[in-house]
Amino acid sequence: MSKAVYIAASHSNTGKSIITLGLMRLLLGKTTKVGYLKPIITTTEKKQTDFHIETLLSHFGMDISYEEAYVYTGKQVIAKRNKGKIGDVIDTIIKRYKKLEAIYDFVLVEGTDFQGDATSLEMDLNVEIAKNLGIPVIIISKATNNKVDDIIENTKFIYGTFKHENVDVLSLIVNKVGKDIVDEVDNRLRQIVPESVITKAVPFSNKLHRPTVAEIVRDLDAEVLFGEDGLNNSIAAYGVGAMQLRNHITHYVDNYLVITPGDRADIILGALQANSSKNYPKVSGILLTGGLQPEEPILKLIDGLSDIVPILSVKTGTFETTTNVANVQSQIYSENNDKILASIRIFEKFIPTEELTSKLINFKVEGMTPRMFQYNMIARAQKQRKRIVLPEGDDVRILEAAGMLSTLNIVDVILLGNIEDIKEKADKSGIIINFDKIQVINPLESEYFEEFTSTFYELRKHKGINLDTARDMMTDVSYFGTMMVYKDIVDGMVSGAAHTTQQTIRPALQIIKTKPDVSVVSSIFFMCMEDRVSIFGDCAINPEPTAEQLAEIAISSADSATQFNVEPRVAMLSYSSGSSGKGAQVDKVRLATEIVKKKRPDLNIEGPIQYDAAVDSGVAKSKMPNSTVAGKASVLIFPDLNTGNNTYKAVQRETGALAIGPMLQGLNKPVNDLSRGCTVDDVFNTVIITAIQAQDL
On whether both 256 and 401 belong to a single domain, the answer is: no
Is 230 found in the same domain as 96?
no
Task: Give the CATH number for residue 184.
Answer: 3.40.50.300
Asked whether the predicted pLDDT for residue 682 surpasses 80, the reply is yes
Question: Does the pLDDT value for residue 119 go beyond 70?
Answer: no
Neighbour tally for 357: CB within 10 Å: 16
Residue-level pLDDT at 299: 87
DSSP secondary structure letters along 554-571: HHHHHHHHHHTT---EEE
Instruction: Work out the average pLDDT over 568-584.
Output: 85
Model pLDDT, residue 687: 93
Residues 307 and 393 in one domain: no
Neighbours of 179 (CB within 10 A): 8
The closest alpha carbon to 557, from 671, 662, 648, 646, belongs to 662
CA 289/CA 570 separation, integer angstroms: 72
Strand partners, 177: 203
- Alpha-carbon gap, residue 567 to 372, rounded angstroms: 14
The pLDDT of residue 2 is 58
Q: How many CB atoms lie within 10 A of CB 250?
A: 9
| DSSP collapsed to 3 states, 384-440 | CCCEEEECCCCCHHHHHHHHHHHHCCCCEEEEECCHHHHHHHHHHHCCCCCCCCCEE
Q: Are 629 and 691 in a shared domain?
A: no
- Measured CA to CA, the distance from residue 252 to residue 146 in angstroms comes to 27
If you average pLDDT over residues 642-650, what whole number do you get? 91
How are beta strands 311-313 and 223-226 bridged, if at all? Answer: antiparallel
Are 553 and 422 members of one domain? no
The pLDDT of residue 406 is above 90: no
CATH number of the domain where residue 232 is located = 3.40.1390.20
pLDDT at 247 over 70: yes
The pLDDT confidence band at residue 583, using thresholds 50, 70 and 90, is confident
Question: What is the per-residue pLDDT across 270-295, written as a single tens digit (0 to 9) for each?
Answer: 888 888 888 999 999 999 999 888 88
Residues 525 and 588 in one domain: yes
* Dist. CA 467–CA 547, nearest whole Å: 40
Same domain, 158 and 33: yes
pLDDT of residue 229: 86
DSSP strand E in 486-598: where? 492-495, 522-528, 533-537, 569-573
Q: Note whether 227 and 323 are same-domain residues.
A: yes
pLDDT at 427 over 70: yes
Instruction: State how far the alpha carbon of 381 is from the alpha carbons of 215, 325, 400, 659, in Å.
Output: 49, 55, 19, 19
Non-local (6+) Cβ contacts of 409 within 8 A are 382, 385
Q: What integer pLDDT is reported at residue 148 of this predicted model?
A: 86
Q: What is the percentage of the chain residues whose pLDDT exceeds 70?
A: 97
- Residue 423 class from Cβ within 10 Å (0-12 exposed, 13-18 middle, 19+ buried)? middle
CATH at 634: 3.40.50.10750
Please compute, for residue 562, the number of CA atoms within 13 A of its CA located in the half-sphere on the CB side.
12
Same domain, residue pair 199 and 259: no
Give the residue among 224, 338, 344, 197 at the shortest CA–CA distance from 285.
Answer: 224
- Sign, Cα dihedral of 189, 190, 192, 196: positive
Domain range for 190 is: 4-206+338-360
- What number is the average pLDDT over the span 550-576? 92
Do 322 and 350 have their domain in common? no
> What pLDDT, on the 0 to 100 scale, is given for residue 46?
64
Domain closes at, from 280, 307, 329: 329
Q: Are residues 218 and 323 in the same domain?
A: yes
As beta bridge partners, residue 288 has: 260, 313
Task: Summarize pLDDT for 145-160 with one digit per residue, the tens.
Answer: 778 888 888 888 888 8
**648 and 674 within one domain:** no
Note the pLDDT of residue 248: 87
Q: Can you give the pLDDT at residue 690?
A: 93
pLDDT above 70 (res 265): yes
How crowded is the C-beta side of 553, counted as CA atoms within 13 Å? Answer: 37
Average pLDDT in the chain: 87
Please provide the DSSP assignment of 12-44 as one string.
Answer: TT--THHHHHHHHHHHHTT-S-EEEEEEEE---
Share of residues in the chain with pLDDT > 90 (%): 27
Q: What's 472's domain CATH number?
A: 3.40.50.10950
**For residues 327-351, average pLDDT:** 80
SS3 content of the chain, % helix, strand, coil (to 5): 45, 20, 35
- 465-477 tens-digit pLDDT: 889 898 999 999 9
Domain count across the chain: 4
Q: Taking residues 102-109, what's their average pLDDT? A: 88
Q: Identify whether the C-beta of residue 466 lies closer than 8 Å to the C-beta of residue 648.
A: no
Q: Which of 24-28, 394-398, 511-515, 546-550 has the lowest mean pLDDT?
A: 24-28
Confidence band for 487, pLDDT divided at 50, 70 and 90: very high
Close Cβ partners of 96 (under 8 Å, ≥ 6 residues apart): 37, 39, 68, 71
